[in-house]
Structure 1
Amino acid sequence: MANAASGMAVHDDCKLKFLDLKAKRTYRFIIYKIDETVKQVTVEKLGEPNQNYDDFTASLPENECRYAVYDFDFLTEENVPKSRIFFIAWSPDTSRVRNKMIYASSKDRFKRELDGIQIELQATDRSEMDIDVIRSRSQKG
């Protein structure tokens, strides 16, 4: 199982949409899904620039793993606007073991395809990716 999972291809659209988010800020977030039938990571959902963090977290399924990228805007302590690009590996405790294994074994390879990730976060429940966690990590990152 793990060998097949680590051989997941990455659809070109995944990289192209990420570049749009990073360079043009066309999207606020991108949610990626592994399509097991074609053994490929694909774009599942694109968040519009005006959507917020609550919209993003509401887009993640309760019982299935996903990869996601979120462009987080914030003000530094000096009131300078900044943004950080988060890579979030969403692996809820309630998802199937096989689902978790496939996402875990493919994560590093997939993440390498997305050049420009600044902060990585692993979350097994919503509290681990609460907005306060994101804010705190942004200040450090």
Structure 2
Amino acid sequence: MDAQAPWRAGTVGSRMSYKNATLALCAINVLAVALLLRNHFSSWPRLPGSHRFDSAQLRYIWESEELRRSMEPVDLIRRVKEIEQESYGEHGMSTQEDPKQTAAVDLSNRLKDLRQGNDGSSQRALEEWRKRKMERARLRAIDKDGMMPGAKTR
């Protein structure tokens, strides 16, 4: 019973456990991640204030900003805003409410027409249903008396 497994025979083997192996592997992974992050962030350009531009680079940046500003359609944007203000200024908020109001009135009128049409047609349908029911009741009464529904009476 005192015999040890062959893989645990040495002193180094007896110190190595799953817990120690896991800790060693985690430490190696942490070091690898730290090195990768250091390399990744060191490839990024430095902060804007940390490195200086020379006069040629500054002139190039300034010219590109001027070109970008000159290409914006400022007059067109200004005119569109004026047109929007004129269209809303004359009528106020009523321009936005008018389509909604007319749609609501139209919907209300359509519902009223639908109700009126349904009232007349439902009354007719009810009368037809009553007539059919009375006819079926009459035919059943005739059938109970022993006469055939299609036979003529005496």
TM-score (norm 2): 0.14
For normalisation by structure 1, the TM-score amounts to: 0.15
Q: Compare the two structures and name the one with the higher strand fraction.
A: 1
Asked which structure has the greater CA Rg, the reply is: 2
Q: Which has the higher helix share?
A: 2
